[in-house]
């Protein structure tokens, strides 16, 4: 029998966290339940497995900034469903190089057309948004407004010095 769990240390309830079987968190190679997932129990396991594989292929550390959230994102955000993660990559690659690598890995994994990918070249930490919405979505964010993915990607290419 599986039981909806509550972490007795933190008091955080894990909505999708079932006792009685192998925990997905134990199967991930590069991420821990203690990172900034919001509520880790609400995270979509498919996203976690995908993120772990992308991280493995990239070969650099991914820092989770946000996972599940109950508020604070755009209307109907995939974060509210636990389907999304925001992260940045600890690397000497420029952000444009990071974008190209992520695109390549998504194609290699044959998930390119079923994920949402947002790029934020002006963000302090050069974050990525990735979600497993099941359909293709791409966007960028520049000068405090959403824009086309291509525009933001091009901006990142033209502004390599904006890298931290
Ligand atoms: Zn996001």
Write out pLDDT tens, residues 93-123: 999 999 999 999 999 999 999 999 999 999 9
* 67 CA from centroid of ligand 1 (Å): 8
* 69 CA from centroid of ligand 1 (Å): 10
Residue 8 scores a pLDDT above 70: no
The CATH number of 4-162 is 3.30.1380
Using DSSP, state whether 127 is helix, strand or coil.
coil
Four-point Cα dihedral 95, 97, 103, 104, nearest 10:
-160
DSSP secondary-structure letter at 21? Answer: S
Task: State the pLDDT at residue 6.
Answer: 52
* 113 CA from centroid of ligand 1 (Å): 18
Task: State the pLDDT at residue 13.
Answer: 54
Task: State the pLDDT at residue 20.
Answer: 54
Q: How high is the mean pLDDT of the chain?
A: 90
Q: Which of 76, 68, 71, 24 is nearest to 50 (CA)?
A: 24
* 147 CA from centroid of ligand 1 (Å): 15
Question: Which residue did the predictor score with more confidence, 74 or 7?
Answer: 74
Question: Which residue did the predictor score with more confidence, 56 or 23?
Answer: 56
* 87 CA from centroid of ligand 1 (Å): 8
CB 159 within 8 A of CB 121: yes
Helices marked H in 15-148:
24-27, 45-58, 95-108
Q: How far apart are CA 54 and CA 105, in angstroms?
A: 6
What does pTM read for this prediction?
A: 0.86
* 2 CA from centroid of ligand 1 (Å): 31
Residue 163 scores a pLDDT above 70: no
Write out pLDDT tens, residues 58-74: 999 999 999 999 999 99
Write out pLDDT tens, residues 138-150: 999 999 999 999 9
**Torsion sign, CA atoms 33, 5, 66, 138:** positive
Four-point Cα dihedral 26, 28, 33, 38, nearest 10:
-140
C-beta atoms surrounding 88 within 10 Å: 20
Task: State the pLDDT at residue 61.
Answer: 98
Residues in the chain: 164
Write out pLDDT tens, residues 44-62: 999 999 999 999 999 999 9
Task: State the pLDDT at residue 162.
Answer: 63
Paired strand residues for 141: 146
For 37, 47, 75, 122, 161, the CA distances from 69, given in Å and listed in that order, are 8, 15, 12, 22, 32
Task: State the pLDDT at residue 23.
Answer: 83
* 108 CA from centroid of ligand 1 (Å): 22
Domain spans, the chain: 4-162
């Amino acid at each position: 029998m599986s039981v909806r769990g509550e972490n007795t240390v933190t008091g955080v309830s894990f909505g999708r966290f079932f006792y009685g079987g192998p925990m997905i968190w134990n199967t991930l190679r590069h991420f821990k339940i203690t990172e900034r997932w919001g509520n880790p129990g609400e995270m979509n396991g498919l996203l976690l497995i995908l993120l772990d594989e992308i991280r493995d292929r990239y070969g650099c550390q991914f820092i989770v900034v946000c996972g599940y959230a109950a508020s604070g994102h755009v209307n109907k955000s995939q974060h509210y469903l636990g389907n999304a993660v925001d992260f940045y990559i600890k690397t000497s690659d420029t952000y444009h190089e990071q974008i190209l690598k992520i695109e390549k890995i998504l194609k290699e994994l044959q998930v390119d057309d079923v994920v949402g990918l947002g790029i934020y070249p002006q963000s302090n930490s050069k974050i990525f948004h990735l979600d497993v919405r099941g359909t293709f979505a791409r966007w960028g964010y520049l000068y405090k407004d959403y824009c086309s993915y291509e525009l933001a990607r091009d901006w990142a290419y033209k502004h390599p010095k904006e890298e931290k």
